[in-house]
A and B are shown apart, each in its own frame.
Chain A
Amino acid sequence: MHLTDENLIYSETFPGGAHWSMRMRAGNALRLVDIDGGANVAMLMLNPENPLEKYNMPDTLKGQHTFKLTQGNTLFSDMGRAMCSIVEDSVGWHDTATGTCNRRVVEDKWGHSSYQNARNDYLRNGRDSFLIELGKYGLGKRDLAANLNWFTRIEVDDAGNLIWGEHQSTPGDAITLRFEMDAIVIMHTCPHPLNPAKAYPRKPIRYEIRELPAPAMDDECRLARPESERAFENTRLYHQVKGGQS
């Protein structure tokens, strides 16, 4: 993957404990950089043409026989399509199975804080952040689904117990998501609900929007598994593009 000034469309440093959303266009990539290490970027993705279609955790995991997400994996929608693919990852393991923090989790772990007493430093929670951003598109509680937790590593032992990974992301770690179809991206930087930190972790990130070449027929993510290849083919059919380009 080439990072050049020419393919950079936009770049912004984004604080921890905050939320935002954007429409990503097919062919462009969203690159996330963990500035200080230990960040968490929680994310949902929906099809702007029909938000009933969205990133689907079980379909993505079972379709690639994986519990973790990393470079080479493709994110599948519930409609069987490749929504976006992970074309760069320096971390190696990202969680998508353990959800996001809600008001109760934040209060239990990090204490009560409100706008009244802390103004804009109040401890935001992930669920409210998702609902605020979803609301901008006329969506709400019924549109929530299992989210991605970029930069957070949650392992599982033989008995199924969750383990906060010893090796979490470090300063400068980055992941690049190449969008194979247009998507509403809903995201926040509130802490992962299993983060053991004593104080509310407020970890900034940088996000970049870049223009990338369309995936070639021998693209790493497309050919990672036959399942991925079929998902790319379903996206090509959705776009009704001739030949082998999605």
Chain B
Amino acid sequence: MIKVSEKLAEQASHSHIITAGDYWMHVVKAGQIFRILDLEGNQAVDTLLYNAADPAERYSATDTIRQQGNVYLTAGTKLLSSEGNVLMEIVADTCGRHDTLGGACAAESNTIRYSLDKKCMHSCRDSWLLAISEQDVFSMSKRDFTHNINFFMNVPVTAAGGLTFEDGISGAGKYVEMVAHMDTIVMISNCPQLNNPCNAYNPTPVEVLIWDAL
């Protein structure tokens, strides 16, 4: 569902450009509005969310899908935790559909999907591994990696039970915006994948913006 935001970029309290293939890890406070802006279009943004007070409670793709009765994320979607609580809620979306079935690329999954010699290519799970190591204030390990959201990625499920990777439906300037229901650790890998159309074969930067609660 397309829903436009009235937030103005110049009023944001925080903004940051995540360059292609880099990570970003940040606590978004309860009540803050958080936007991810696809600067150049068709850029997958692999995102994990955690309750900042207890990171063992984290985003759950399966609970989110089941409780809303739909496999795609868009405006109105409540991003549920593994405990069934709302971490964030999508309040604006100019792309219209986001994926949470496709997971994140890794050296190891590259060997399955493309060829055994693709394991040396940069991947989202490499970015997360570096993130949790460098940002050790969060005391996370690989145990904390779970199934993520792929903002701006288009992974249609067919009625026959197939899963397809289609060209993105995002474009330059499209964004998705959510309000935090609790203090939430956001960990993003700006996807470096070069072997499928999720980034239009050309990974590009995205911008994150945060507005304080009114």
Query: Does A associate with B in a complex?
Result: yes
A residues whose Cβ falls under 8 Å from a Cβ of B = 52, 56-59, 61-63, 65-68, 76, 78-81, 93, 97-100, 102, 104-105, 140-147, 155-162, 193-194, 227, 230-231, 233-234
Residues B163 and A194 in contact, CB atoms below 8 Å apart: no
Residues A234 and B157 in contact, CB atoms below 8 Å apart: no
Q: Which of B126-181 contact A (CB under 8 A)?
A: 142-147, 155, 157-159, 161-165
In the docked arrangement, what's the CA distance between A233 and B83, Å?
Answer: 37
- The reply to whether the CB of B17 lies closer than 8 angstroms to some CB of chain A is no
Residues A67 and B56 in contact, CB atoms below 8 Å apart: no
Q: Which of B97, B101, B145 contacts A61 (CB 8 A)?
A: B101
Identity of the chain A residue whose Cβ is nearest the Cβ of B164 in the assembled complex: A65
Q: Which residues of B contact A143 (CB under 8 A)?
A: 143
- The reply to whether the CB of B95 lies closer than 8 angstroms to some CB of chain A is no
Identity of the chain A residue whose Cβ is nearest the Cβ of B72 in the assembled complex: A160
Asked if A76 meets B146 with Cβ closer than 8 Å, knowing A62-B163, A93-B161, A156-B157, the reply is no
Residues A66 and B101 in contact, CB atoms below 8 Å apart: no
In the docked arrangement, what's the CA distance between A57 and B163, Å?
Answer: 12
Residue-wise, chain B 23-46 has the 8 Å CB interface mask toward A (1 for contact) of: 000000000000000000000000
The DSSP consensus for interface residues of chain A is loop
- 16 CB contacts below 8 A, A to B, read A58-B101, A59-B112, A62-B101, A62-B165, A63-B112, A65-B162, A67-B157, A67-B158, A76-B109, A141-B82, A142-B56, A142-B144, A144-B146, A160-B157, A230-B115, A233-B116
Asked if A146 meets B115 with Cβ closer than 8 Å, knowing A61-B101, A155-B161, A162-B66, the reply is no
Residues B84 and A104 in contact, CB atoms below 8 Å apart: yes
Q: Which residues of B contact A100 (CB under 8 A)?
A: 62
In the docked arrangement, what's the CA distance between A67 and B164, Å?
Answer: 9
Q: Which residues of A contact B102 (CB under 8 A)?
A: 58, 61-62
Identity of the chain B residue whose Cβ is nearest the Cβ of A153 in the assembled complex: B161
Residues A62 and B62 in contact, CB atoms below 8 Å apart: no
- The reply to whether the CB of B70 lies closer than 8 angstroms to some CB of chain A is yes
Q: Which residues of A contact B107 (CB under 8 A)?
A: 80
In the docked arrangement, what's the CA distance between A100 and B84, Å?
Answer: 11
CB proximity of B143 to chain A, nearest CB, Å: 5
Q: Which residues of B contact A158 (CB under 8 A)?
A: 159
Asked if A78 meets B109 with Cβ closer than 8 Å, knowing A52-B143, A65-B163, A99-B60, the reply is yes
Residues B101 and A145 in contact, CB atoms below 8 Å apart: no
User: Given A67-B157, A105-B84, A159-B70, list of 6 further CB < 8 A pairs?
Assistant: A52-B143, A56-B109, A78-B108, A102-B84, A142-B56, A143-B143
CB proximity of A215 to chain B, nearest CB, Å: 17
Asked if A157 meets B159 with Cβ closer than 8 Å, knowing A97-B101, A98-B66, A143-B143, the reply is yes
Identity of the chain B residue whose Cβ is nearest the Cβ of A92 in the assembled complex: B161
Residues B109 and A59 in contact, CB atoms below 8 Å apart: yes
In the docked arrangement, what's the CA distance between A162 and B56, Å?
Answer: 28
In the docked arrangement, what's the CA distance between A140 and B143, Å?
Answer: 10
Residues B163 and A67 in contact, CB atoms below 8 Å apart: yes
Q: Which residues of B contact A155 (CB under 8 A)?
A: 159, 161
Identity of the chain B residue whose Cβ is nearest the Cβ of A141 in the assembled complex: B56
In the docked arrangement, what's the CA distance between A116 and B142, Å?
Answer: 39
Asked if A162 meets B111 with Cβ closer than 8 Å, knowing A57-B103, A67-B163, A99-B60, the reply is no
CB proximity of B133 to chain A, nearest CB, Å: 15
In the docked arrangement, what's the CA distance between A194 and B70, Å?
Answer: 12
Residues B106 and A162 in contact, CB atoms below 8 Å apart: no
CB proximity of B108 to chain A, nearest CB, Å: 3
Q: Which of B79-131 contact A (CB under 8 A)?
A: 82-84, 97, 101-104, 106-113, 115-116
CB proximity of B96 to chain A, nearest CB, Å: 11
Residues A66 and B163 in contact, CB atoms below 8 Å apart: yes
Residues B70 and A234 in contact, CB atoms below 8 Å apart: no
Most chain B Cβ neighbours within 10 Å, of A56, A93, A100, A156:
A156
Q: Which of B66, B116, B165 contacts A194 (CB 8 A)?
A: B66
In the docked arrangement, what's the CA distance between A233 and B103, Å?
Answer: 22
